[in-house]
Amino acid sequence: MSQEEAKQNLEDIEKSNQVQNNIQQKDGEQQIQDGKQLSPEEELKLREKKAKKALNAKIYDLQKKLSRGIQVISQTEGKTPEELFSFKEATSNLFVLHFGIGEEVDYVTVKDYVNSVAGTHKLTVFPGLGYGYIQFDDVKKAEQTINSLERFEQIENCHYKEMTYEKKTRPTLFLYAHCKLTDICQNKNNDFPEASRKVDAPGLLFQEEFITQDYEKLIMEEIDKKEWNRLAKRKVQHYGYEFLYGINSINKDNKKDPIPDFLNNLMQTISKEVIKGEQPELDQLTINDYYPGDGIAPHFDTHSPFEEKIVIVSLNSGIVMSFKSYKNEEKHLFLPPRSILVLSGEVRYAWFHSIASRKVDKVEGDFNFRRRRVSLTFRTVQFKPCRCAYPFFCEDQGYDPVTMKKNNPLLPRDYHAKDDSTKVVAPKSEEEQKILDEVQQVITDGKPTNLEQKYVYEVYEKIAPHFSHTRYNPWPKIESFLKGLEPGSLVADIGCGNGKYLDCHNGDIYMIGTDRSENLISLARNRGEEIQVFSADCLKLPWVSSKFDNAISIAVIHHFSTPELRIHAINEILRILKVGGEALIYVWAFEQTEKSFSEQDVFVPWNLQNKYEDEKVVKGEIKPNTDIQINEAKQSVVYKRYYHVFKKGELEELISRIPNCKINDSYYDHANWVVKIEKTSE
């Protein structure tokens, strides 16, 4: 059955059903008359007609669901029904149309049924989609499942079972699969790594069932009696010392309430079995409240505020925590409820850890659907400088991204020689060098060149939806800057993109965002009615001078091709500020660890996934104005973005040429060099 045949079949069924309904309605009107007592023969005929009508309705409903299901799967996967389904012979794999949204109830209901009729199998559901995929060891189990189902001879390839999903019953259809699981859903929400219940990482200790279920229940009840503090995306409680987000530290001079008594037994066990006198006793606790879909960005706890061992206890629900080393080693560990995780040594000081923002995890071939999770993170406050064995990550021992690559003993000697296209930005081609040489001959006069137009403006306009999809979490230090501003401050976000910083403050400042890309501005507007944005060029801001208290410019200045244009853009920021106003500016760092550069003026590729691209561009039938390449392996169209990556001290030197400002602070953050500049005069 082709996709067109499935669609035509669906239309024919709907027409036929409408005709049948009209006939049956007239039949009923002729046989039932007001006030007339029907004979037994007439009642029997009426019941038969009703039964036939119900049967026809059932057949119609199943035909419609089957045809529509085949059509939806084909459209979603971008394959023909013949590529996806085996209509003529049995296979060891099945598609299941559960018509839900791929949540826990769909998974459990289908899995329990298949277990009951065929035994061992692997079920994969796809979050947000109404179908799944079942894998068996052999064809016989798949046949056993199909043979257990109901069917109508009138409907070809229709095998179904009425299943109850919580309180709702709906027919669930099964079809033999012609394709493998690896052939489908590669770019969907289910494309995430599989975790283990045991991983090997230096300094990581882990134990399941560290506390009993009864003690877990008591802790949860007592925690919920306490007052929660609300952050942008979750709730927290702090004890001993308050954790300061944004700078990932604590206020050592401001002690808070002590760790609650109901945790005494847990603390004693941790002290005896984990701390073992190797550091002072735990005296700081952060309790985090996570709901399905919540996560935390990759980070490692800063060195100076805390002693070495950090202890995490998970309650109520399991979750996957991911670990990544500087050598790009990745580990994914499932933390079940009542488990304890201890971070020490290398994994504490030199590995990033994170929790992905999703509602389901894959764990050793099975699915774990997240529920509310509460984590207890215990630390010991450190009152002396950190002298750990990992100075290349240690702020107390001269951490500097410039030298980190050279001095990091974790890296193999040939690390930088590896051709890793995700990290290494290739040197310019002769054509690209010619473009840059031509730009240097142009007198810009505060206006963008053809390079900015072609390799910045047009590219971001094109990749906006995909780009926005990858930019959702505010960086802590930028969020901290905004939350620390005076109430009532008027703040400009220049180059606001999809607007992720426009709503991450305390709600007592007023922000207006601008961006050169109309498509990014449209995405920013979708964040809510309170978001104030419009399209503008940061080289010529449409605001009168000296009106804003503060401004931020995140990842914008590095897109200009000449020093004159970079200075002009910074001057525009200063022009709109009041005297005494402060601006926060971020630019990409040449010395960053996320990517490796051999030169400062580079063209960085953006792999625009095919689903975001015009089909005619993917097929090469039309070409956009800017340079592109088709990457068939990654199923993407590659666009080039121009960057001037700044070396250490270069941004400060550039600002030193501007007379009416001073630098209040400069530092490195998230692969960027950062400055805070203050306007000192008009």
pLDDT in tens, 198-226: 999 999 999 999 999 999 999 999 999 99
The pTM of this model reads 0.59
Q: Residue 1 pLDDT > 60, yes or no?
A: no
In the chain, list all ranges with CATH 3.40.50.150: 430-591+646-679
In this prediction, residue 169 carries a pLDDT of 93
Please count the helices (runs of H) and the strands (runs of E) in the chain.
17, 31
Give CA–CA dist 215/265, Å, rounded: 9
Q: Which CATH number fits domain 3-9+52-183: 3.30.70.330, 3.40.50.720, 3.30.70.1140, 3.30.70.120?
A: 3.30.70.330
Interacting residues of 410 by C-beta distance below 8 A, sequence separation 6+: 325, 326, 327, 346, 350
Residue 464: what pLDDT? 86
pLDDT in tens, 236-276: 999 998 777 656 678 787 788 999 999 999 999 999 999 99
Q: Is 477 left (phi over 0), alpha (psi -120 to 50) or beta?
A: alpha
Banded pLDDT at 66 (limits 50, 70, 90): very high
Q: Which two tokens stand for residue 676?
A: 């805070």
Q: What is the predicted pLDDT for the residue at 664?
A: 93
The per-residue pLDDT for 402 is 57
Determine the Cα–Cα distance for residues 454 and 371; give it in Å rounded to an integer. Answer: 47
| Per-residue model confidence (pLDDT) at position 39 | 80
Round to whole Å and give the CA distance between 529 and 187: 31
Contacts of 563 (CB under 8 A, 6+ apart): 654
Query: Which position has the token pair 């051999």?
Result: 598
pLDDT tens per residue across span 342-391 = 999 999 998 989 998 888 999 998 899 999 999 999 999 999 999 998 88
Span 323-334, mean pLDDT? 88
If you write DSSP's letter for every residue of 199-268 in order, what string do you get? ---TTEEEES--S-HHHHHHHHHHHTTSPPEE-SS-EEEEESEEEETTTTEEEEEEE-SPPPGGGHHHHH
Residue 419 above 70 pLDDT?
no
Higher-scoring residue by pLDDT: 49, 600: 600
Tokens for 567?
A: 């200075």
Q: How confident is the model at residue 30 (pLDDT cuts 50, 70, 90)?
A: very low
For residue 286, give the nearest of 400, 369, 376 by alpha carbon. Answer: 376
Which DSSP letter does residue 611 get? G
pLDDT at residue 409 in the model: 56
For residue 408, pLDDT over 90 is answered with no
The confidence band for 401, taking pLDDT boundaries of 50, 70 and 90, is low
Of the two residues 493 and 407, the one the predictor is more confident about is: 493
| Residue 609 clears pLDDT 70, i.e. is over it | yes
Residue 322 φ then ψ, to 5° = -105, 145
Dump pLDDT digits (tens) for 640-679: 999 999 998 899 999 999 999 999 999 888 889 999 999 9
- For the chain, first and last CA: distance in Å? 74
The domain 430-591+646-679: what is its CATH number? Answer: 3.40.50.150
Q: Which fold has domain 194-379?
A: Jelly Rolls (2.60.120)
Q: Provide mean pLDDT across the span 596-603.
A: 89
Q: How far apart are CA 310 and CA 342, in angstroms?
A: 6
In which band, very low, low, confident or very high, does the pLDDT at 327 lie, cut at 50, 70 and 90?
A: confident
More confident of the two residues 55 and 593? 55
Return the number of other C-beta atoms located less than 10 Å from residue 492's C-beta. 25
Per-residue pLDDT of 85-109, as tens digits, reads 999 999 999 999 999 988 999 999 9
For the chain, give the mean pLDDT. Answer: 86
Question: What's the pLDDT score for residue 397?
Answer: 79
| pLDDT grade for 529, boundaries at 50, 70 and 90 | confident
Distances (CA, A) of 352 to 221, 349, 361: 32, 9, 19
The CATH 3.30.70.330 portion of the chain extends over: 3-9+52-183
- The pLDDT assigned to 474 comes to 84
Residue 5 has pLDDT above 60, yes or no: no
The answer to whether 93 and 180 have CB atoms below 8 angstroms apart is: yes
